[in-house]
Amino acid sequence: MRLILLGPPGAGKGTQADFLIQEFKLAHLSTGDMLRAAIKAETPLGLAAKEVMDRGDLVSDEIVCGIVSERLDAPDASNGFVLDGFPRTIPQAETLDGMLAEKDMNLDAVVEIRADADILVDRIVKRAQESGGARSDDNEEVLRKRLDVYEESTAPLVAYYREKGLLKTVDGMQSIDEVKAAIRSALGA
């Protein structure tokens, strides 16, 4: 199974991705995790990405498409994957279509976790407090910026994938278990 998880920051994409990879034995392809690993390793890519991420902006389409393309070729991705945090723009989605076509892969579904922006601010501020500030982009100001960026650049993907007949929307304001059940049923599993 090849899936995309779509939803604003704090909607629970990471939690639901963990569930999906266990349930269906999929590879977890999180561009946020890949970029944070590059920052930790202090690679040139990481150094370039850090400042952009700390402001809550998007890293360039070229950089993220490059890292995803490499990751799609890794052996674990051949059994299926969950893309978490990618694509985030229409050009990224178009590039992904091209990459998948080239690799003879199809997407099975795009799961949109729909969530209310104000409640998300509370959730993420809590996450930042609980993790002792482990993520430098988890503060209220940057979060509001990330939500604006989501609305402007990423939300148009909902229509993009609806037109392709791939979109499955679930209500992300329920409990974690209820969201899991809604995703399972949306996938017909």
**Catalytic site residues?**
13, 88, 127, 135, 146
CA-CA distance, 143 to 41, in Å (whole number)?
A: 25
Name which of 129 and 185 has its Cβ closer to ligand AMP.
129
The stretch near ligand AMP (CB under 6 A) out of 28-36, 39-47, 109-117, 180-188 is 28-36
Which residue in 11, 21, 27, 31 binds ligand AMP (CB under 6 A)? 31
What are the two backbone dihedrals, phi and then psi, of residue 8, each rounded to the nearest 5 degrees? Answer: -65, 165
- Is 18:126 a contact under the CB 8 Å cutoff? no
Residues 15, 118 contacting (CB under 8 angstroms): no
From the number of C-beta atoms within 10 Å of its C-beta (0-12, 13-18, 19+), residue 97 rates as middle
94-133 residues near ligand AMP, rule: CB under 6 A: none
- Burial 121-137, CB ≥16 within 10 A → b, else e: bebbeebbeeeeeebeb
Q: Which of 5, 32, 39, 170 binds ligand AMP (CB under 6 A)?
A: 32
Shortest distance in whole angstroms from residue 105 CB to ligand AMP: 18
| Contact between 38 and ligand AMP per CB under 6 A | no
Site string for ligand AMP, 130-169 (x = CB under 6 A): -------x--------x-----------------------
Q: How far apart are CA 91 and CA 157, in angstroms?
A: 10
Does 59 engage in binding with ligand AMP (CB under 6 A)?
yes
Interface contacts to ligand AMP, rule CB under 6 A: 9, 31-32, 35, 52-53, 56-59, 64, 85-88, 92, 137, 146
